Structure 1
Amino acid sequence: MRHLALISGADPTRQLDALFINAPLRDYGLRPRTNDYTLPVLGMAYIATYAQNAGFNVGVLDAEAHGLGIKETAEIVNGLTPRWAAMNLLAPTYAMSARIAENLAPDIALMVGGHHAKAMPDRILNDPRMKNLRALVLGEGELRVAALLEDEQRRRELPGVIWRDPILGTRATGIADAKTSALMLGPDINTLPYVNRAFLPQDPYQAAPTATDQRIAQARGRDWLAAAARDGHMEANIVGSRGCPYNCTFCGAAWSANQDVKIRVRSPQDIIGELDQLHDEYGVTCFRFVDDLFLGVRDVIHEHMKAFAASRIGDRYVWDATGRINVLDRLSNRDLDVLVHNGLREVALGIESGSDAILKAMDKRINADMTERIARRLLSRGIGVKGYFILGFPGETRADLDATVRHIRNLWDIADHSTGDIRASVFEFRPYPGTPVWTTLTDAGHDPDKLLAYGDVDLTGDGADESMRQRDEFNFSVGIQFGEVPLEDIRSTLGMLTREQYERNQPTTEAAA
């Protein structure tokens, strides 16, 4: 019964056609998970929803959300005996996925996808732990996964599906005509069904009230906002687009690593329909756009904000989104005011560094002055900023690292004199296969096996350090010093900044009252 309780979205009275497995970020059988929340597996839920609508009985086992160990995860899958097990392979968790796959019963067929599968298909096909692997799906999987569930032999006509012939030991790839390939590899995202939230154990979720919510409630003066500032929002994550036109050298979404992906943005009507559905069914009043770059093209921003205004989105909801600094910097003050009017609460920005030399090496097409300028304009309007930063990027000097620390503190100072707030989220650099910087590193002589040796770094002191506890899922390293600054100094700087941000997050006596 415990096993069934951990499966999301499946019909327990029917045989499982497929169980989609989100591997844990580390083996929680060895050290318990300390963070309370992990981002939902929306991509996996999209595929599961499409398969369910096609008539198949599918479920999701989110081992990360449930804090499961490797042994328990494999036991659950084997106990449920699905026809197929399916995994989304990511470089930092590939070892976890492979260990689960190694322990699957021989009669359970395995299909895999995800960024790591796309970047290193032959390495995965040749991994002896993947002995059950019958289909490796490159790219967006909704249509092709449903076709595989209908009939495994259809893989021969499915583009971007790879397998290894068990007798000949050769690599085989599905072949389709050009028209079929275009449809299978890049489905019309406006025709895909809305994600069935039954597949997501932690989404929607009740979020605690924040100081940002209190400021927004005071500034925008709506009764429902005041209630949310007091009690917290019901929040949900949502995807508004697929693909990214930029080529940041460290990013798995870089266009050079995804040239098969056609960049598509959902129509504003399709997005608004999902917002309203989530509100009607779950009472959601806050949405987080977690796609690569929702606020990333000026004309698209104008189109969506016109539709949001017509539907009075800002009168009913607040929302957070990913944004591109150079695009937002080119928006007029009126454009930013429109975003506020339409409910924008916080924008997540890939700031990455305070060093212009490192930003150039990353191909960010921004500089520190630009970031501080747009932060000031956003924060002055009460729009919060969540900034992501990378420490230890290849070639980073001590001066570059110091510039990043100064940059973060400059941004905090801007926030202290504004109505909006900024949150700094700091990470240690880690390379991902398929990205431009991966090619740079391997061309320079780095051993791919060592670059893939991801290990979790316990910055929490076994959970004792509260300021690090919510970072537990993000602390990964390959243990290589890529710049001038030793790793121990990188990690101490990361810890210092994270603790300072944690202290800034704590409510003041005045706010608490």
Structure 2
Amino acid sequence: MRHLALISGADANHTLDALFVNAPLRDYGLRPRTNDYTLPVLGMAYIATYAQRAGFNVGVLDAEALGLGIEETAQIVNGMAPRWAAMNLLAPTYEMSARIADKLNPQIALMVGGHHAKAMPDRILADPRMRHLKALVLGEGELRVAALLEDMQRRRELPGVLWRDPLIGSRAGGVADPQTSGQMLGPDIDTLPYVNRAFLPQDPYRAAPTPADRRLAASRGSDWLTAGAAHGHLEANIVGSRGCPYNCTFCGAAFSANPDVKIRVRSPRNIIGELDSLHDQYGVTAFRFVDDLFLGAKRVIDDQMAAFTQHRIGERYVWDATGRINVLDRCTDQELGTLVANGLREVALGIESGSDRILTAMDKRIDAEMTERVARRLVAHGIGVKGYFILGFPGESQEDLDATVRHIRNLWAIADQHPGDIRASVFEFRPYPGTPVWQTLIKNGYNPDELLAYGDVDLTQDGADESMRQRDEFNFSVGIQFGGVPLDVVRGTLALLTREQHERNHSGQEAAA
């Protein structure tokens, strides 16, 4: 019964057709987690929802959200004895996934997918810990996973499904019908059901009030805004599109790493339908768009905002989204004002570096001056900015690192003069297989085994204990110095900037109180 209580979305009265397992970022049986919130596994929930609509009894075991160890995760899967266990493979957590797979009962068929599965299928098929693997699914899995649950033998007719031939040990794959393979690999996302939030144990969630919430409540005075500013909104994560037209060299979503992915944007009507559904069902009043394109293409922004204005979204909800700096740079002040009127609170931007030389190496199509210009305009309109930064990128010098530190402090100074806030989230560079920079590193002689040797790093040793608490689950490294700056300097700088951001957050909360 305890095992069942940890599984989300399943029908307890029937045998599980599939248990979708999100592996922990590290083995929490060895060192307990310190972060209370993790990002929801939206991709996994999409697949589970589609399978459920097709008539299968499925559940999600989010070992990361639950803080489970390797041994306990495997025990739960074996205890539930589903027909299939399904795992989403990511480079930093592949070892965790493989160790769990190694402990599964042989009667349980295993399927895997995800960025790492797509980037290194032969390596995974050859891993003896994946000996129960019956299907490796490349790319978007909704339709093909449901077909596999119906009949494993259908894998022979499914595009992008691989397995290891049990007799000769070589790779085998489905032979697809050209009439249906396109839809199987890239379904019309407007036809997919809205995600069943029963599969997401931490979404919707109650979020802490933000400075933007307080500003909106003060300026508009509506009851729901005032409640959100006082107690925090009930928030949900949402995806507005699939695919990315950009080729940032470090990113797993880069178009050169995903030539098979057709870029698709959900219709405004479909998105607004999900917003209203989440509000009606759960009382959600705040949303976070986590895809790359919602504020990453001018045409998409124009289409979505016209519909948001028509349906008076800004009078009913607030929302955050990821955005592209070069696209927002082309927006007029009137268009930024429309975003605010339609409920935009914060934009997450991949700023990455303050060095134009490194930005060119990353193929970001921006420079530091453009970032500061866009950030100034956003915060002047009261829109918050969350900036992501990468330290230790291949080829980065001390001068480049110093430029990033100055850049972050310049952005903070800009925020101090305007109503919007700017938050910096800083990470150590991690190489992901399949990305453009991975290919460059391999050509330059790096060993793939060493590039995949991820380990968690405890940055609290740098004296930033409290500021590191909410970052504990994101500090991963392969322990290689890729640029001209020693790793201890990179990590010390990361801890310094994180501590400064933590202090800014704390002082802002005190001022608001």
Query: Shorter-chain TM-score: what band?
Result: over 0.9
CA contact (8 A) 1:314 1:343 kept: yes
Q: Are the structure 2 counterparts of residues 462 and 279 from structure 1 closer, same or farther at C-alpha, using a change threshold of 3 Å? A: farther
CA contact (8 A) 2:37 2:202 kept: yes
Q: Are the structure 2 counterparts of residues 140 and 339 from structure 1 closer, same or farther at C-alpha, using a change threshold of 3 Å? A: same
Q: Distance between the aligned counterparts of 2:291 and 2:445, measured in 1?
A: 33
1:250-297 deviation line (CA, Å, top 9, x unaligned): 000000000000000000000000000000111100000011232111
Give the residue type in structure 2 aligned to 1:72. Answer: E
Q: Are the structure 2 counterparts of residues 509 and 225 from structure 1 closer, same or farther at C-alpha, using a change threshold of 3 Å? A: closer
SS at structure 2 position matched to 1:288 = strand
Give the residue type in structure 2 aligned to 1:247. Answer: N
Give the residue type in structure 1 aligned to 2:220. Answer: R
The equivalent of 1:149 in structure 2 is: 149
Q: Distance between the aligned counterparts of 1:462 and 1:232, measured in 2?
A: 32
- 1:30 equivalent in alignment to 2:30: yes
Deviates more, 1:288-297 or 1:393-402: 288-297
Q: Distance between the aligned counterparts of 2:290 and 2:512, measured in 1?
A: 30
- 1:429 equivalent in alignment to 2:429: yes
Name the Cα RMSD after superposition: 1.2
The equivalent of 1:466 in structure 2 is: 466
- 1:276 equivalent in alignment to 2:293: no
Per-residue deviation, 1:464 = 8.3
- Where does structure 2 lack aligned partners over 5 or more consecutive residues? none
Q: Are the structure 2 counterparts of residues 509 and 436 from structure 1 closer, same or farther at C-alpha, using a change threshold of 3 Å? A: closer
Per-residue deviation, 1:33 = 0.5
Give the residue type in structure 1 aligned to 2:385. Answer: V
Aligned positions of 1:271-310 closer than 5 A: 271-310=271-310
CA contact (8 A) 1:241 1:265 kept: yes
- Where does structure 1 lack aligned partners over 5 or more consecutive residues? none
The equivalent of 1:340 in structure 2 is: 340
CA contact (8 A) 2:295 2:301 kept: yes
Give the residue type in structure 2 aligned to 1:184. Answer: M
Aligned positions of 1:27-176 closer than 5 A: 27-176=27-176
Q: Distance between the aligned counterparts of 1:509 and 1:476, measured in 2?
A: 29
The equivalent of 1:244 in structure 2 is: 244
The equivalent of 2:215 in structure 1 is: 215
The equivalent of 1:228 in structure 2 is: 228
The equivalent of 2:502 in structure 1 is: 502
Q: Distance between the aligned counterparts of 1:141 and 1:508, measured in 2?
A: 43
Per-residue deviation, 1:3 = 0.7
1:371-418 deviation line (CA, Å, top 9, x unaligned): 000000000000000000000000000000000000000000000000
Q: Distance between the aligned counterparts of 1:450 and 1:128, measured in 2?
A: 19
Per-residue deviation, 1:222 = 2.4
Structure 1 segments of 4+ aligned residues over 4 angstroms from their partners: 461-464, 507-510
Aligned positions of 1:258-277 closer than 5 A: 258-277=258-277
1:128-170 deviation line (CA, Å, top 9, x unaligned): 0001000000000000000000000000000000001111212
TM-score under structure 1 normalisation? 0.99
The equivalent of 2:17 in structure 1 is: 17
Q: Distance between the aligned counterparts of 1:161 and 1:301, measured in 2?
A: 35
Give the residue type in structure 1 aligned to 2:110. Answer: L
Aligned positions of 1:301-380 closer than 5 A: 301-380=301-380
- 1:195 equivalent in alignment to 2:201: no
CA contact (8 A) 2:348 2:386 kept: yes
Q: Distance between the aligned counterparts of 1:512 and 1:480, measured in 2?
A: 42
Give the residue type in structure 2 aligned to 1:318. Answer: V
The equivalent of 2:442 in structure 1 is: 442
Q: Distance between the aligned counterparts of 1:461 and 1:140, measured in 2?
A: 40
CA contact (8 A) 1:211 1:511 kept: no
SS at structure 2 position matched to 1:330 = coil
Give the residue type in structure 2 aligned to 1:199. Answer: F
Give the residue type in structure 1 aligned to 2:440. Answer: T
Q: Are the structure 2 counterparts of residues 80 and 299 from structure 1 closer, same or farther at C-alpha, using a change threshold of 3 Å? A: same
Per-residue deviation, 1:179 = 2.1
1:451-496 deviation line (CA, Å, top 9, x unaligned): 0000000123599811101111110000000001000000000000
CA contact (8 A) 1:240 1:291 kept: yes
Per-residue deviation, 1:509 = 7.4
CA contact (8 A) 1:379 1:385 kept: yes
The equivalent of 1:178 in structure 2 is: 178
Q: Distance between the aligned counterparts of 1:508 and 1:330, measured in 2?
A: 31
Q: Distance between the aligned counterparts of 1:276 and 1:237, measured in 2?
A: 14
SS at structure 2 position matched to 1:107 = coil
SS at structure 1 position matched to 2:68 = coil
Q: Distance between the aligned counterparts of 1:256 and 1:220, measured in 2?
A: 45
Q: Distance between the aligned counterparts of 1:360 and 1:65, measured in 2?
A: 36
Q: Distance between the aligned counterparts of 1:496 and 1:231, measured in 2?
A: 31
TM-score under structure 2 normalisation? 0.99
Per-residue deviation, 1:211 = 2.3
Q: Distance between the aligned counterparts of 1:216 and 1:150, measured in 2?
A: 50
Q: Distance between the aligned counterparts of 1:310 and 1:186, measured in 2?
A: 30
SS at structure 2 position matched to 1:224 = helix
CA contact (8 A) 1:425 1:498 kept: yes
Q: Distance between the aligned counterparts of 2:215 and 2:465, measured in 1?
A: 29
Q: Distance between the aligned counterparts of 2:284 and 2:461, measured in 1?
A: 35
The equivalent of 2:383 in structure 1 is: 383
Q: Are the structure 2 counterparts of residues 463 and 19 from structure 1 closer, same or farther at C-alpha, using a change threshold of 3 Å? A: farther
CA contact (8 A) 2:462 2:492 kept: no
Q: Distance between the aligned counterparts of 1:297 and 1:512, measured in 2?
A: 34
SS at structure 1 position matched to 2:329 = helix
Q: Distance between the aligned counterparts of 1:341 and 1:323, measured in 2?
A: 17
Q: Are the structure 2 counterparts of residues 508 and 93 from structure 1 closer, same or farther at C-alpha, using a change threshold of 3 Å? A: closer
CA contact (8 A) 2:458 2:475 kept: yes
SS at structure 2 position matched to 1:425 = strand
Q: Are the structure 2 counterparts of residues 147 and 463 from structure 1 closer, same or farther at C-alpha, using a change threshold of 3 Å? A: farther
Q: Distance between the aligned counterparts of 2:86 and 2:183, measured in 1?
A: 22
Give the residue type in structure 2 aligned to 1:295. Answer: L
The equivalent of 1:405 in structure 2 is: 405
Q: Are the structure 2 counterparts of residues 268 and 98 from structure 1 closer, same or farther at C-alpha, using a change threshold of 3 Å? A: same
Q: Distance between the aligned counterparts of 2:170 and 2:444, measured in 1?
A: 31
CA contact (8 A) 1:34 1:463 kept: no
SS at structure 1 position matched to 2:180 = helix
